Chain A
Amino acid sequence: MNVLMAGVGGQGIILASDMLSEVMMRHGYDVKKSEIHGMAQRGGSVMSHVRYGRQVASPLIPLGSCDILLSFEELETARYVEYLKEDAHVIINSYRLSPPSVISGKEGYPDITPILKERTGRIHMVDGSSIAEEMGNPRGVNIILLGTLSTLLEPDESLWLECINSMLKEKIRPINIEGFKRGREVKIQ
C-alpha cells in the first residue's frame, strides 16, 4: 500500500505520517517513509511518502501507484496527481492557504477538481480545519484527517489509539483522541 500525504510546512504532516508508519509496523508490516525536511519548515510544499506491505524496497512511491492521497491543503493535492493509481482515494481537507503569487494578486487560486478527475472519481472533501477550529485546537487537523484515513485501512481503532497514547505526551492525548474519533465519524466511501 502506498499513502501519500501532502500539504504545507507547519501543518503537522510529519507527525501524521510518523503515526501511520508506527501503526502499520505494529500491525506487522514492513514500513518505509520518506519526506523532505529543511527548507520545508519555512512554509513550502511538503509531501510524505508512506509505504507498507510484506517487504518494501524503495522509500519513494513510483508514479501511478499511490493508493491513497491525504491532502491537508486543496492546491497541494493537485501537485501529486501523477502519483495516483487510477481510482485512488483522495481525501482533501477543505482548506486553502494562498501561495505567494496568489497573495500578491498575480494569479488566482486554481480549481483543482478537473485536474484530479482525470485520474480518479474518488475525491472526498473533509472539513478537517473547521472541525479543528470547532474543537478549539486549530493545530489538530492532522489527527482528524488521520481519523478519516483510518476508516479506509485494515487496523482496528484500538491499535490507532494505542499508538496515539504511546507517541503523544499525556497532556495533549485527550484532545487528540477526541480529534481522531471526530475524524473517524466522517463518512467516505
Chain B
Amino acid sequence: MKKMLSGNEAIARGAYEAGVSFASAYPGTPSTEVLETIAKEYPRIHAEWTPNEKVALEVAAGASYAGARSIAVMKHVGVNVAADPLMTLPYTLIRGGLVLVSADDPELFSSQNEQDNRHYARFAKIPMLEPSTSQEAKDYMIEAIGISEKFETPVMLRTTTRISHSMGIVETGDAAEQLTPSIERHPAELVMLPANARRRHPVIEERICSLRAYSNTSELNTIEMADTSIGIISSGVAYQYAKEAFPTASFLKLGMSYPLPDEIIRDFAAKVETLWIVEELDGFMEEQVKALGIDCHGKDRLPMCGELNPDIVKSAISGQDPEPLKEHPLPGRPPSMCPGCPHRSLLWALKRNKCFIAGDIGCYTLGFLPPLDAIDTTLCMGAGINHAHGMSKVFGAGKENIAAVIGDSTFFHSGITGLANLAYNRGAAVIVILDNRTTAMTGSQNHPGTGITIRGEQTTSLNLEELVKALGITWVRTIDPYDIKKTRKDIKEALAYEGPAVIISKAPCVLLKSRNVSGKRLVVDSEACTGCKVCIGIGCPAIEFKEDKAYINDMCVGCGVCADLCGPSAIGGGE
C-alpha cells in the first residue's frame, strides 16, 4: 500500500516491518516523531521516553542482549550524551538487531550546533546507513536490523532534518515476526573488563573489514552511469539535490556511508572525467576518497556550514555563481515564547533582580531575544546549573547575583548530577527549575515527572521538591510565577541565602489543558494608559504598541502578568 510518510514515520514503519520489539528515545528535533509514531501506530512495539539518550541506548542494548530487536532514537547532540555506551557497545555481543537512529540538524533549525554524526560511525567502528528518501528511510531501517544481526554489531541510521521532516511516498510491506527473548550468558562477550575487552577489540577490527567487503557488494551502494564528464558520489538528501541539479550526470549513490565501498569507488572514479563528492557538513567521504589516492573535488567548492540545496550544488559544480538576489529588507519573525507562557514572568523577575542568568536547552532559551534579553549562557543539556556554580564560586558567596534556569525535562535529563555537585561543593548560585510539567519545546512529551507514559498509562511521578532536598539543597521553595510580586520577593530571598537555593517555578505549559490561565482576553483602558511601555518590556506577542498606547490582541490568554505590572492599572478584564 502507498502512503505519504515523513522520514521519521517511515523509520517507525521500518522498525515495525523489521520485527523490532523495543524502542526508546529522548525527544529532540528533528528526531521526536519516530518514537511518537511507534507509540501511536504500532502497539506490538514497547515504546518508552527515557530521561536522556544514554539511558535510551542502554535500555535498547539490554533488550538486544535478551535477543529482541531494538532501536534507540535521538537527535545528533543526543548521541554525545549516549557516546559512553556507544563506544563500548561494539565490543559486546549484539543478539537482537540494535539500531541507533541519529537525526542530524544541518542549518541548526532547532539545535545548538551542526555536528556531523557520520564521524561517530568511524569513531565507534560501526556501519552507518543514510537514507535519501522516506522510502529508503523505511527500507534502510529493515536493512540495518539485518546487518546488525548478521555482523553482531550496533548499526547507525543517520537522517538529517530534510529527511526526517520531508514527506514522500512509501510502499509499505508486511511485518516480520518479532524474536522470542531468552536469557543467554556470554560473560566473555558481555562483561567488558580489560581482559575481555582486550580480546574483543580484534573482533571489531575484523568485523569492519568484513563490513567493507559487504559495502562493496551491497545494493545499498549503486552506480548510475550516464554522462561521464561529471561523476558525483553522494549520500542522504545531498544525493537528491545533486540529482536535481545535474540529472544527466553519472552517480555513485552511497546508502552505506561507513565503511565506504573502496572497490566500487575506484571503479566509478576510473569511469568519469571529473569526480565530485557532494555531502553536507564535513568532507567525511571526501577525505576517505582522497586517502584512497583518488583525485576529487568537494569542499574546495561546497560549503562546510549549513545545509545544501539544489542551487548551492549547481553553482558549486558548474563554477557559475548564481545571479545575486535583490535585497528586500523585511521585519524578521523569530519564534517567541507563547502568550501566557509562565517562563516569561519568571525570567523578567530574575532580570529585574539584576541576575546573570545561565540558561539551558528548552523554550526558555527564547528568553534570550529582546526585549527580555534574559539568557546569558546556553551550551548543552544540563550545563546551566554548572555554569552558575562555577561562576559564583570564583566570585565567592553573595558577591554577584548568579542564577541558572532549567526546565523540568532538562533537569531530569542531565541537571540532577549538577545540582548534587552544587550542594556537595557548597555552592551559592540560585537555581530555578522551570517546572511546566512537560517537554515543551519538542511538542509536549511526557517525562518522569508527569506521571504518564508515552502511551498515556498512569505511572509514578518524580517529586521535584523531595528530590532536590535529597540532593542536599536546604533552601527550596515552590512558587507561582504568575504572581510576579511574590516571585520577585522569593528571588531576593534566595539570592540573600548563604548557600545553594532552588526555586521551583511551577506552572503548566500554556499549551497544556491543565494550564493555569483564565483564557479570557485582557483589555487596555486607553484613557488610563500612559504609554510607559512597561508591559511591552515582557515581550508578550499579545501586547502591541499602537498610536502611543498599549493594545492587547486576540492572542491574549489572560495570564494577567501585564496587568500586575501596569503602574496606572490600565489593563483589566479577563476574569
Contacts and interface: CB of A to CB of B under 8 A. Distances in A.
Contacts of A110: 330-331
B330 A43 contact: no
Given A32-B167, A104-B536, A41 B443 contact: yes
Contacts of B366: 42
Interface in B1-16: 2, 4
B442 A38 contact: yes
Given A35-B165, A37-B29, A100 B336 contact: yes
B456 interface: no
A45 B333 CA distance: 6
B335 A44 contact: yes
Interface string B233-271: 000010011011101000000000000000000000000
A104 B535 CA distance: 10
B244 A57 contact: yes
B15 to A, nearest CB: 21
B166 A103 contact: no
B424 interface: no
Contacts of A22: 4
Interface string B305-342: 00001110010000000100110101111111110000
A55 B334 CA distance: 35
B305 to A, nearest CB: 17
Nearest to A29: B169
Interface string A63-89: 100000000000110110110000000
Given A31-B168, A36-B109, A21 B4 contact: yes
Nearest to B443: A41
Interface in B332-356: 332-338
Contacts of B165: 34-37
Contacts, number: 136
A185 interface: no
Contact of A9 (B335, B369, B441): B335
A41 B29 CA distance: 12
B30 A38 contact: yes
Interface residues of B, number: 52
A112 to B, nearest CB: 8
Nearest to A21: B4
Interface residues of A, number: 48
B162 A34 contact: yes
Contact of B331 (A8, A56, A57, A99): A99
A39 to B, nearest CB: 4
B543 interface: yes
Given A25-B2, A31-B168, A38-B110, A115 B328 contact: yes
B244 A43 contact: no
Nearest to A82: B325
A79 B328 CA distance: 8
Given A75-B330, A75-B331, A58 B541 contact: no
A100 B335 contact: no
Contacts of A102: 331
Contacts of B536: 104
A8 B240 contact: no
B452 interface: no
Interface in A97-142: 98-105, 107, 109-110, 115, 118
A184 interface: no
A171 B366 CA distance: 36
A65 to B, nearest CB: 9
Nearest to B134: A32
Given A39-B110, A58-B244, A104 B545 contact: yes
B328 A81 contact: yes
A18 interface: yes
B296 interface: no
A39 B371 CA distance: 19
Contacts of B558: none
Nearest to B314: A62
B240 A57 contact: yes
A102 B541 CA distance: 11
Given A78-B328, A81-B328, A103-B541, A58 B335 contact: no
B363 interface: yes
Contact of B333 (A18, A25, A36, A99): A99
Report the 6 A-B pairs with minimum CB-CB distance, sorted nearest first.
A38-B110, A42-B335, A44-B335, A58-B244, A38-B29, A59-B166
Given A22-B4, A63-B325, A100-B539, 20 more contacts: A9-B335, A25-B2, A30-B169, A31-B4, A33-B4, A36-B161, A37-B165, A38-B442, A39-B109, A42-B363, A57-B240, A57-B247, A58-B310, A60-B310, A62-B309, A63-B311, A79-B330, A98-B544, A99-B331, A110-B331
Interface of B: 2, 4, 29-30, 109-110, 133, 161-162, 165-169, 237, 240-241, 243-245, 247, 309-311, 314, 322, 325-326, 328, 330-338, 363, 366, 369, 371, 441-443, 536, 539, 541, 543-546
19 contacts: A9-B335, A21-B4, A31-B169, A32-B168, A36-B161, A37-B443, A38-B30, A38-B110, A39-B110, A41-B335, A43-B333, A43-B336, A60-B241, A60-B309, A62-B245, A98-B544, A100-B331, A100-B332, A100-B336
